[in-house]
Amino acid sequence: MSLHQQAVTTGDDQASEEFLVICLCAEWCGTCRDYKAGFNALAAQFPGTRFRWLDIEEHADEMGDLDIENFPTLFVQRRQWVLFFGTMLPYLNYLCRMIETFQEQTAEESRDYVLSNPERRGWQENQDLARLGTIQDGH
C-alpha cells in the first residue's frame, strides 16, 4: 500500500465496511502533509471504520467532475449513504467528533439524515461520489 492511500480495517469484514472516511488531498499541499499523520493515527480510534488517503492529482482521471478546491476535503460514507462531503478545517478533533456523531446514529437515523436537505440528497445521486470508495491505488 502506498503513502497515498491508507486503509485500516479492524473486526469482521461486515463491521469494517460500515463506515468509510476518505481524505482527499494533494502531495504538494503543506496542510495535507501536516494533517496526514494525525489522520492515519485517528484510524486506530475507530474500529469498524475504513480510512483512506487519496491524492486527487494521482487519481485525477478517476475523480470525474468532482471539483476539489480546498484541503482537506473529507468524504464520509455509511453503507451506501454519503453522510458528508466537503472541506473541513484541518483539526483532527473536528473530524473525530463528526465520526463519533455519525456512529452514534442508527442506520435509520443516517438514512433520514442524508435525505433531510437538498445538498445531502444530491450527494446520494452523484455518481462521482459513489465511485470514490472504489478508486484503487495503482502504486
- Number of domains the chain contains: 1
Calculate what percentage of the chain has a pLDDT beyond 90. Answer: 77
Quick: pLDDT tens for 11-28.
Answer: 334 444 799 999 999 999
Average pLDDT of the segment spanning 58-77: 93
Question: Which CATH number is 32's domain given?
Answer: 3.40.30.10
Report the C-alpha gap between 73 and 75 in whole angstroms: 7
Let me know if residue 24 belongs to a domain.
yes
Residue range(s) defining the domain that contains residue 115: 13-132
Report the C-alpha gap between 139 and 124 in whole angstroms: 29
Q: Give the predicted TM-score (pTM) of the model.
A: 0.85
